[in-house]
Each structure stands twice: as structure tokens, then as C-alpha cells.
Amino acid sequence: MNSPVSKTPSKADRQDSNLGARGGRASSLCLIVHDDLELRLQAAALMRRASPTLAADSVDQSAFAAMSAERIAKYKAVLVIIEFASNANGGDPLANVARMRDHAPRTPVFVFARGGDERCAARSIKCGAADYWPIHAVKLDELRQALLPLAEQSGSAGADSGPGAGGARKAGEPRRQPEIGGYRLMKKIAQSAAASVYLAQSDELAQPVALKVQALGGLRIGAEADRQRFARECEILSALNHRSIADVLDFGITDEYLFLALEYFPCGSLRERMRNPVSEADAINYTVQIGQALEIVHAAHVVHCDLKPSNIMLTNDNRIVLIDFGSARSQLLSTDLSRSDISTGTPYYVCPEQIMGREPDGRGDLYSLGVILFEMLAGAPPFAGKTLSDIFAAHRLADVPPLPARRSRYQSVVNRLLAKDPAHRYTSAGEFLRALGTAIRPTTVGPPARPANSQGVTVS
């Protein structure tokens, strides 16, 4: 185990502190540790939802290793995201928890686990973790109760005693799943800071559905914005009727929850697919389908504004379906509901104009598609960095990296998609698709690795 090598905060530590609430005392901060910035942002948002009085700093593992014990001990708690299933280097996945036990024993450590099991949970607690959750099944009330003592120590009234707590459950009161009339919730399949998604059985439909459920939240800070975002998603999805857009089967409101029933995609998302290498044929096949879906979306005067692999689902016939229009802008919506908010987007896929606070149009979605296309062809996103500031600066200033030589025929297309100035990008999804068709060489690309979908989308 490495001992601390620095008594001052690292650059990543200083810059990522922007992710926390500004103006708060350092003693009210928690620290989130993981190499994937997107995961850290999601964990920070979930933590703020559980306890709005606490803020979060966020660092990758190398920056955490460079932090002194004195610096770490200033945090109220450390939340470590651990990849149990992909520990390829053979090291101890609980090394950061052990380091906390040795160097800051009074600072509680919470483990969010990916790929863990009951044995991993037991090992984490034995190693010194104060609590453990599978990352896709974090119970908000459990996290709220775990953070409550920390919020009280920072001088707040506590996460479930003030108006910001909404309908927080009292200690000792049994936890329960949401109850939505007409639906039987079978298991939780996804969790975000704002909502949970359950695999559910409808009383009226033969097939299972994905039921997105969001607590109304009472007077919790940001609750009204959450309700507006959820209502916006229902309105936009209901207005878009196309096989490449997720079907809205039902939506409504109960005394406690907003809910949205969508078709269920057991094959998962493009993000899961991209964890393994994507063939050139599949990359172009998916890109063509996404471009065709954007044609439909933009023709309805809607801009998605959060296009990323985790919002692109796959069907069993290799067809893509766009989901999550909660960040979308529509000409049908008032200006107040259409203001840019890059916190709802994802740093690796956000367009430069959105970073600079300007309202994106359809060309912003094409930029995000360019990032996805580059990532599928090259195996990594074009713009990366250890901090949010680094990634945003790369989007605004860095040149587009070269594609691998065997994929160079697409470089000019990618360069135009990723132009910093939207005026230099393709004017429409249709223009982009025509340019992509010109770049494709059927004799070398060949047919898709799996059967073409029923729309007849191929790479030739």
C-alpha cells in the first residue's frame, strides 16, 4: 500500500471541487473516488439528492493516491466506487478502503460496488467500510440515513428534518417499493439521482415494461425542476411516434410519484455493447440508425441534448432506440423550461456551445453523435481528461484526434461532426447521412456482423 506522497491537494482535487456546492465549508464536503468522471458525477448527484446540505469533491484514483492523510481527514466521508468484476491487474479492489482505515480511521467510507456480490459486501465491511451498496441498486432512503449524521455534524438540521428533505422516512420505519396502480414491480434495473427504473408487469399488457418512477419529493430543493423535467420527457416522447424512439405505453402521477412506462429493452444499451470492441460494420450500422432517428426528432422541432451511448438502447434484432428525453428542448415548450443546463448532459458527449451556455440546436446532437461514432471506431472518446474542466476545455479547444489508419476514410466526416463552431458542422442529420454514405466503401466494410434490422439499414 502506498503512503501519501503530497501534503497539498492535487490539481484534479482542486478543479473537481467545482462539482460540489460552492461557498460551503470544506468540513461539509464528501469525497468521491473513481476513474470514470461520469460515474463520479452520477454519484455526486445521488448524494446531493439524499442530503442537499452536503457537497462533493470528486477525484480519480491517481489523485486520491497523491492526497495526504491530513487532507483526506478533512472530508466528512469518502465514497469509493469499486469495480469488483473488472479488476484485471490482480490488485486488491478494496485497497482504497484499507488505505482509509489506516490513514483516516475516523472518516467513514461508503462503497458503491459494480460487479460485486454478498461476499464482496462482507469483505468491504470487514475491511472498514461503513456501508455498501450495489451501484445500480442504491436505496435513496438508506443513503439518506447513512449521511444524516454527517449533515448534522456540519450544523444542518439533518436530511430528514427540514423542508429540503421532502418525504424522508424516519429511522426504523420499514422501507418499501413504490406502489403504482396497475403495475407489479419485479426488480430495479437502473438508478439515477432523479429516478429509478424498474422491470414491471402491467395488468393490461402481456409484455414486461420499463417503469421509470420519480418521487415527488415534497418541498425538497430542486423538486419543481425535477417535476418539470419529467413532464417534459413524457410530453416529448408521447409526441414522437417512430420505431427508433422509445414507445410511451403509459404515464401519470400518484400522490407520491411521477411514473413513465416504456417498452423494455432486455439487450441493454449501446454503452454496454461498447464495453467490447465494435466492428466497423456495426459502428456504421448504429450510426446510420441514430442519424435516421435524429432526422425524426429534429423534424418534430425537438433537440435531444443528452445523446450518449447509455441513452441508446438495442433490440434483439440489432435495432437502436433513443430514450431519455428529459433534457430535450422543444419549440412547444416555454423558454423557462428550455434554458440550457449542462448538468443534465454528460461531459464526454456535450457540445461546445452547450458548455459555453448557449442554446444548442440539432447540430449539437450531431456533435454528440460524432463523439459516439469516433468512440466506436477508435475504442475511446476523442476528448478526455482527469477533471471536468479538462474535458470541457478539450471540447472547446482541442483538435479532433486522428482515427486509426484502417478507419481513416471516416476522418473528414468525424472532423465536420466535431467542428467547434456549429456553423461548420452538417446542417442536418440528412446531410450527414449522405456524407457518411459517400465515405463508406462497401467492398471493404461488408455486411453488418448481425442481421440487418427491419428498416433495411446496412452499411452499403
For the stretch 385-400, pLDDT in tens is 887 888 889 999 999 9
- At residue 151 the predicted structure's pLDDT band, cuts being 50, 70 and 90, is low
What CATH number does the domain containing 114 carry? 3.40.50.2300
Q: Which of 235-249, 348-362, 404-418 has the lowest mean pLDDT?
A: 235-249
For the stretch 163-187, pLDDT in tens is 333 344 443 333 467 888 888 888 8
Is 213 found in the same domain as 148? no
Q: Is residue 159 part of a domain?
A: yes
- Check: pTM over 0.75? Answer yes or no: no
What SS3 class is residue 324? coil
- At residue 27 the predicted structure's pLDDT band, cuts being 50, 70 and 90, is very low
Element (H, E) at 374: helix 362-378
Residues spanned by the domain of 248: 183-263
Average pLDDT, the chain: 74
Question: Residue 254 is placed in which grid cell?
Answer: 400518484
Cβ burial of 190 (10 Å; 0-12, 13-18, 19+) is middle
- Number of structural domains in the chain: 3
Is 292 found in the same domain as 321? yes
Q: Are 191 and 136 in contact (CB under 8 A)?
A: yes
DSSP string, 208-251: -EEEEEEE--TT-TTHHHHHHHHHHHHHHHHH---TTB--EEEE
What CATH number does the domain containing 251 carry? 3.30.200.20
In degrees and rounded to multiples of 5, residue 451 shows phi and psi of -60, 145
What CATH number does the domain containing 313 carry? 1.10.510.10
- H-state helical runs in 379-456: 388-397, 411-417, 429-439, 442-445
- At residue 454 the predicted structure's pLDDT band, cuts being 50, 70 and 90, is very low
pLDDT of res. 407: 94
Q: Which of 232, 263, 294 is the last residue of a domain?
A: 263
Is 102 found in the same domain as 25? yes
- What is the C-alpha separation between 460 and 99, in angstroms, rounded? 54
Q: Which of 211, 236, 263 is the last residue of a domain?
A: 263
Cα dihedral 60, 66, 71, 72 in deg (nearest 10) = 50
In the block, residue with C-alpha cell 451511448:
309
Alpha carbon 304 to chain centroid, angstroms = 15
The closest alpha carbon to 11, from 54, 56, 67, 72, belongs to: 67
Question: Residue 332 is placed in which grid cell?
Answer: 412547444
pLDDT of res. 437: 92
Q: Are strands 248-253 and 209-215 parallel, antiparallel or unpaired?
A: unpaired
Is 35 found in the same domain as 120? yes
pLDDT of res. 233: 66
For the stretch 63-92, pLDDT in tens is 888 888 888 888 888 988 888 876 545 578
Is residue 421's pLDDT more than 80? yes
Is 301 found in the same domain as 214? no
